[in-house]
A and B are shown apart, each in its own frame.
Chain A
Amino acid sequence: MGKDKLNNIEDFLTNDSFICYVFEQTSSLKKYWDDYFKCNPEKESLARNARQILLNEDDKPGISSTEKEELKQRILSTVMKVNSYK
């Protein structure tokens, strides 16, 4: 899992296990990450920031509603195409 490589926010943001931990908190994930932070207390603030980003807590609108709608129409039209081939 390469948890020794967790040196910046992006490392946490792209770590599958960490992503699951933020959203699921199953007992094995919780134990794994609790142990990790016990051994690496200096990583806790990085992890906290990464967690906020994953949970979208700063909630800044990164995408405009027009862009959102355009992307949605693009996705829906691809879905229609894929469906009609079947």
Chain B
Amino acid sequence: MKFYRSAIEAEGAEVIGYDRIRYNLAESSVRDRSLKDLGIELKGLDLPYAQDHFGLPELRELIASQSGPNVERDHIMITAGASAALFIMAITLLEKDDHVVITRPNYCTNIETPEAIGCDVSFVELEYDRRFRFDPDYLKAVVTPRTKYVSLTCPNNPDGSMLTLEELKAVVRITEEKRCRLLVDETYREMAHENLLPVAATLGSHVVSISSMSKTYGVPGIRIGWIHCQDRELMESFLCAKEQMSIHGSILDETVAYETLLQKEEWLAEVLPEILEGKEIVRKWISEDPHLDWVEPDGGSTCFVRIDAGLEIDYDVFYERLLSKYGTYVGPGHWFGFGKNYMRIGFAWNDMDKLRSGLQGISANIHDFIDR
């Protein structure tokens, strides 16, 4: 078994060089915030070893209370971002040759860790032309008695497609009937554009929800995510994994996360309109450029855009020139296992003028190729 560096890391902004990027449309989060923006005070922190390795009790309590009725503090474990949560889930439940069902495209850790463990992975391919949707009944055919869990991300990365409430309930029901667990990566859940879904873990004790502060709250520099699950025994196993990886998380981060989530309502009221405004700007841009189409996202801060495959474009040159001539940086399709004429565009990280300029750069770059 071998870990490969994923393209999304190898070609990440740190590698490309931030100084070359004027319009960064590759980010999948909302704009970054500072401690000052958060308006919080951090005084009298002792920072000893944590007493509770599950995570700061106040923070877990707060997340529980914000996750729905009847959610208890003990259903929540704090992790170093959603990535550590996904990693913990995989190593706790999976062994070599175990079967796991994963929707694709998906966040790389969701796919790579089970593969690295040597699992037998069945993919549910979400297709652009089917608007990244899938029929929950399809799971009945793929899930076998060996299946340890079904893994999906909702809203999905990179396309922002979401299950409907009925579909989510159907997935929960089918996995329960099949006696396998369900993992829902809900990192973007609170960025639903219209219909906010319930936390999936509240719908069944076989469901594990994973979430994070990194995307919706503009604070990815504090590494805070969490696992939500009603199954106490499983939570104990998760804790064992966490303790052996790093004992517990940064107490400073957990304190900042707590303060940030105290202002959750105000922040969402501020940032959700910005997300929708960004989406409108992309919609307008798509409608004005005949070489482009997209699958309109239902949630999240990114969308997946397609350039007409009929155009004769050398995409390696295209992306290099997009950066060097137009200062625009996007997530090319191959980061997500798609052709390079697809790209992920983040529409909530920049201010709106920068977003517009970046999008215009993409169009201008396409036209450079057509005109030649």
Do A and B pair up? The answer is no
